[in-house]
Each structure stands twice: as C-alpha cells, then as structure tokens.
Amino acid sequence: MSMPLPSVTRVRQHGFSLVELTVTLVILGIIGILVVRWLGILSDERREVFQRDLLQRADDAVTGFAVVHARLPCPDTSGDGREDCGGMREIGVLPYRTVGLPDARAGRLRYGVLRRTGDTAMIERWSTASQRAAVQSTVLDADLAAPSDQAMPLQVTANAADSFIISRVLAWDHCAYMDCAAMPQLARNSMDLCDALRNASQLPTSDNHVHTRRERDTELLQNAGNVAYALATVDPLSPSHDTGSPGFQSPRRAGSGDYRDRVLAVGIDQMWTRLRCGEHYSPAVYAHANVAAAARLTTPTMHNHKTQLDIMVELGRAESMNASVALIDASAELINTTADTLDTIAEIFDTYGGWNWRAALAAGSIGTAVGSTIAAGVAKGSADAYLASAERYRDEFAARFPGEAARLEAEIVTNARRADMLGGFPDPAVRSAVESFHVGGAQPTP
C-alpha cells in the first residue's frame, strides 16, 4: 500500500522593494539633517550660555576686586593669570588669578581697563585775577588701575548772589595722625577711585584708550565712548578684535556670519553707581568738609562773643563807678547847700531878718541837692544791676558755649576726616583704626 506524499506548503517571503528602501533612506537622511542642525543649535546655545556665564562671573570678580582694593585690576600681559601694572598697559587678558576667579578659561577673556594720565579737559574755574569764571585747560588723573591719593575736600569760602562761588581745595593730613605705612587704605581708598572716575567723565572721548564701538555694520569703527573696563570672549577661529587695539566691539552687536564674540563693557557712570560714589564721595568731599569748615569758624566766634561780654562787664563796672562818683558829688553838693543854708540863717539872725529872702533860695538849693542825690542813688542802683546782669550772662556763656563749640568742632572735624579715611567699603581693620582716631583742638587744615 503506497503512502501519499506530504503536501508541500509554499512559504512566501516578503522584503523591501527599492522604492521602499529609497523612501526610508530619504526619511532617515532628513532626520539626520534635523538632528545635526538641532545639535548645532544646541551647541551654539550652550556656547552662548557659557560665554554669558563666564563674562558675568568675570564681571562680578572685577567689581569685587575694585571694592576691596579701591582700584581696577591691571591686565594680564604674560598669560600667567596675574596682573601686570607696569608700562601703563590697558589691554591684555583677564588676570583671573588676581581677581580670585578659579576658572582658567577666564584667562582667555580679552580685558581692557581705562588708564588715562596727563590728558586735559576744559573746565570752568573761578579766576581771582579777573574776578570771573573762565574756561581753563586742566590736567586730570583718570588711571582707574592705580589712582593716587587725589580726593581732596572742596570748601566754599565765598558765595554771593552777584558773584561766582569761590572755593579752595586742601588735602587732609591723615597720615600725620595715623600710620598710613601700615594701613595705606587710610589715605587711598574708594574715594580716590571715585575721584578718578569723576575725572574720566570730564575728559573728552579718546581712541587711544579703552572704548566700545558702534553696533551698526556701517559704524563698526566709530568710537561709541570710553568705558571703565571691558571684557570679551574672542572666537579663535574668526577673531574680530585686534589684540593691540583699545577698541571693543559693541556689547549690543548681534552675532552674524563669522562674528561670534560676546562683549561686556562697564561704563564710567555705571562703575560710579556700582561703587556707590554718590552716597559717600560727594558727602565726604563736599558736605562734610564744608560743615567742618563752618565748625572751625564757630569756635572763634564763640570766643569773640565771650570777649564782647567781657567788654560789656567792664563797661558796666565803669558805669557803676561813674554812678558812685555822681552820688558822691551829689552828696557833697547837698552838704555844701546845707552849709550855705545854715550860713544864710546866721546872716538873717545877724541882720534881724534883713536877708529873709535868701532863706527861700537856700531851701530851694537844698531841695535840688536832695533830688540830685536821689537821682545819683537811682543811677548807681541801675548801674550795679546792669553790672550784675552782665557778669551773670558772661559767666553763664563762658561756662558753656566756648567749650561746647570747641567740642563740637573737634567732633565734626573728626567725623569729616573719618568719612574720608573710611571710604565706601572699609574693612574691619580700617574701621577699628578709624574709630580710635580723634582730632582735638583747632587744626591748620580745614
């Protein structure tokens, strides 16, 4: 018996056709392109975020350095991360070690600081020769990396409605009282940096010093104004900043084409605000100094008033003595008149009443003499009362006001000097030293 052969099941295999494979490759290609572009955009965003973060941290470090050291750091010209203040150089890289920024990548940031000395500005000043204001050429120190001890008190010495304000500038002699060698910030602090910023704001714009440029493509080489300092991340593949130039691209310039740099610039007025110069510079240099000058004038005024009271007492004594003399004269006159009256009465008795009419005259003379004596007594009492009142007022004034004026003068002048020595951001050592400082008595300086 023959067995039937098993039936063979035909399996049909399926695969990709060329069309399907082509479509798949196209889709994968599009996805790949999108992924690459997305990764590129993400990389650009990450780079921009990193640049902004690095610039911001560097900006904070530079500002913190200025607050602590009362100056801006000099640029790093050797690449070791430390500042180089020799040669008055304005351009280099950020001295990240000096400013205390623990990120070596900050050492690739381009950094520039304003250091202007010997430049002149036209400033209106009062001329004592011509008795009028005149515009004069004045040399101003605006070295923000090494400001000298230049913040000096300005005091108004004359002012009238029909004349210009006359003033004088004198330096405090702090180092005559304090050890400036051991603590130099007593003589040079943020007051001097603020003064240098004030000078920088008055100088004309210069292409030879740190500045930013216009943001429009047609004005990229035009100076937009000098700044206190500037930082920039520079793309090494397409650098758009000249290494030796003091010019920085505009912080508002948008990235386009090969331009990928990012700039952070701090203007002179912006640095003035950061250091709070308006809060401590103007009061210490102008307000406190003028109050101290006024206090120095008050003390001699009190002594002069004491002298005038002494003169009033002496006049009272002289008036009392004159009244005493007048009283004595009136008493003598009364005695003489009485004697004449008695003599007249005797003559009347001798002539048996022949001179009776003289008795009436003698009696009238006695009345006049009595009236003069009474008036002299009243004048004497009034003079003594005036003398007692003058002495009492003089003694009360002398016991309080000259000494109080001297005490207030010393306190006001001390506080004015303390304000100048403290500056805007005193450290604990400076604050402790200044608290122990005190000026006693009149000083030759304002």
- Tens of pLDDT, residues 19-61: 667 777 777 777 777 777 766 565 566 667 778 899 999 999 9
Task: Specify the DSSP class assigned to residue 131.
Answer: T
Tell me the two tokens of residue 155: 């005091």
Q: Convert the pLDDT of each residue in 167-176 to its tens digit.
A: 667 778 888 8
Q: How many residues does the chain have?
A: 446
pLDDT at 442: 41
Alpha carbon of 346 to those of 1, 291, 342, 354, 404: distances in Å? 215, 81, 6, 11, 71
Do the bridges between strand 211-213 and strand 247-248 make them parallel or antiparallel, or are there none, so unpaired? parallel
Contact assessment for residue 400 and residue 378, using Cβ atoms and an 8 Å cutoff: no
Q: How far is residue 288's CA from residue 173's CA, in Å, rounded to a whole number? A: 16
* Contact partners, residue 47, CB within 8 Å, separation at least 6: 260
Query: Among 170, 190, 186, 189, which residue's Cα sits nearest to residue 178?
Result: 186
Instruction: State the angle between helix axes of 356-422 and 288-350 in degrees (0 to 180), rounded to the nearest 10.
Output: 170
Token pair of 262 as six digits: 């990012």
pLDDT cut 70: percent of the chain above it: 72
Of 200-209, 296-305, 425-434, which has the strongest mean pLDDT?
A: 200-209
Contact (CB, 8 A) for 229 and 62: yes
CB atoms within 10 A of CB 187: 21
Cα separation, 420 vs 283, whole angstroms: 9
- State the pLDDT at residue 133: 62
What is the share, in percent, of the chain residues with pLDDT greater than 90? 24
pLDDT confidence of residue 151:
85
Mean pLDDT throughout 228-255? Answer: 83
| DSSP state letter for 129 | T
Task: Give the 3-state secondary structure of residue 422.
Answer: helix
Residue with tokens 């000395």: 117
Q: Which two tokens stand for residue 266?
A: 């701090």
Burial of 221 (0-12, 13-18, 19+ CB in 10 A): exposed
Q: Which CATH code fits 278-435?
A: 1.10.287
Distance of CA 232 to the CA centre of its chain: 32
- 138 — phi, psi (to 5°)? -125, 130
Q: Looking at the chain, which residues constitute the CATH 1.10.287 domain(s)? A: 278-435
Spatial CA neighbour of 99 closest among 125, 66, 140: 66
Q: How far apart are CA 278 and CA 272, in angstroms?
A: 7
Per-residue pLDDT, 217: 53
In 84-222, the DSSP E strands lie at: 91-93, 110-113, 115-127, 132-143, 154-158, 166-169, 211-213
Flag whether the pTM goes above 0.85: no
pLDDT, one tens digit per residue, over 101-126 is: 988 889 999 999 999 998 888 776 65
